[in-house]
Each structure stands twice: as C-alpha cells, then as structure tokens.
Amino acid sequence: MKRLSVKSLSVKSLLSALMLLASFSVLADPQMGKDFDKTAQVIPSETPNKIEVTEIFWYGCIHCYHMDPILDAWVKKLPADVVFKRLPGLPQAAWAPMAKAFYAMDDLKLSAKLHMALFDAIHKEKTLNPTDEAAAIDWMAKKSGLDKKKVEEAFKSFSMNNKLNRAAQTFRASGATGVPSFIIDGQFITSSTMAGGNEQALKTVEYIIGNVRADKAKLGSDKK
C-alpha cells in the first residue's frame, strides 16, 4: 500500500478546505450592504398589488447590452405576483437622447421591434452615437419606415419632459451609481457591479423578491 506523506496530506486537506469554502460562498445568501442595499428613498410602486422589479439601463451601456438577452429569458419565467419594467437611466444630460428614444419607441408602439435593434446599432454595428439625438431620430425613422416628422414629434412631445424628469428623479431616489441596476419593490437596489455580474444580479433580485413576498404574506396574516 502506498503511504501518503505528511506533506501530501497537508496539501490534500488544504484543497478540501478550499473546496468547502468555495461551496459555502456559492450557497451563501446575498448580503445587505454588499450585494444589495436599500434605495436612497422609498419609490412608490405603480403596481402595489405585485412585487415590482425595475431595470434602470442606458442604451449606450455595453453591460446593459450584454444583460438584455439574459434579462429577457429571466422575465419570461417570472411568477404571476411579479411585474417587470424598464426605466431609462438619466443621471446626466448626455444620456437624454437615449431616454427620449426609449419613450418615443413606446409612444409609437415600436419597442418590440426596435429595442434590441437600437442596442445592436450602438454596440454591434457601431453606427449610432447614443448621445446624438438627431442621429437617433434619423435611425428610428429609417428602421420603422415612419415619416421622420412623426418620429421627431414623438421625441419632442408635450409629455416627454415629464417622463424625463420622472426618470431623473427615480434615478436619484434609487441611489443608483451605475447601470444596469434593479429596483425591487421600490425599497431595495442591486446591480451587476454590486452583485458581481449580470447573472448574480438576477439571482440577488430573486432573493429579494422571495424576502419581500414572505414579508407581504406575514403582513397579510397579521392583519387577519
């Protein structure tokens, strides 16, 4: 029988310990103050009977671009008590053209057709500057087949300033420091940076959803 040296046993024991620690880190729950945090202010929900998850994003963000297909697959599997929304990030004026593009596409019923195409134009094809509003209008008119004047009207509609103001206010109230970020139930925020990656961010969102769901159930039970 082959005898293991003390040195071999020590290395083997060390490797076993490291594997055990790794398994604990994988299984560990997300931590408040590290993987997620409370929002700077409580943000009123538009769907108080459900758990609202809002992605704050910017079309010019490469990380948001990489997140989008992962996020689409995740959203399709959401339970009935969770509602998902997107909100354009607006921490600075340079991001306004893409916020306007987001709302203009929504008004013109073009979101399903052009949302990913806009990401592609910026990051894959590299044919569109996300800070150039005139170029965004030209692009949208060309891709949609709509008259350019109609697209311009959507970008400059009476309600656009209100939407932009609301987006900027929500960004500040969330306490977000970058994108993509996620607001959960108007009370908690996580991001790819905080959680350590896009998939980890969604797992953190799921963890928070579970806690919020349990709190709501307990609150409902206490009222009976």
pLDDT tens sequence across 35-54: 999 999 999 998 989 999 99
- 105 with 114: CB under 8 angstroms? yes
Q: Running DSSP on this structure, what letter comes out for residue 91?
A: S
Q: How far apart are CA 180 and CA 193, in angstroms?
A: 8
Eight-class DSSP state of 95:
G
DSSP SS3 for 201: helix
- Give, in words, the CATH class of 32-223: alpha beta
What Cα–Cα distance (Å) separates residue 156 from each residue in 87, 96, 100, 162? Answer: 18, 12, 8, 11
pLDDT at position 4: 46
SS3 (DSSP) at 85: strand
The model's confidence at residue 2, banded by pLDDT at 50, 70 and 90, is very low
Question: Rounded distance, CA 220 to CA 77, Å?
Answer: 25
On the CB side of 41, CA atoms within 13 Å amount to 8
pTM, full prediction = 0.86
Shortest CA distance to 179 belongs to which of 54, 26, 51?
Answer: 54
Domains of the chain, residue spans? 32-223
Radius of gyration of the chain (CA): 22
Confidence of residue 13 (pLDDT cuts 50, 70, 90): low
pLDDT at 105 over 80: yes
Write out the two tokens for 40.
């700077």
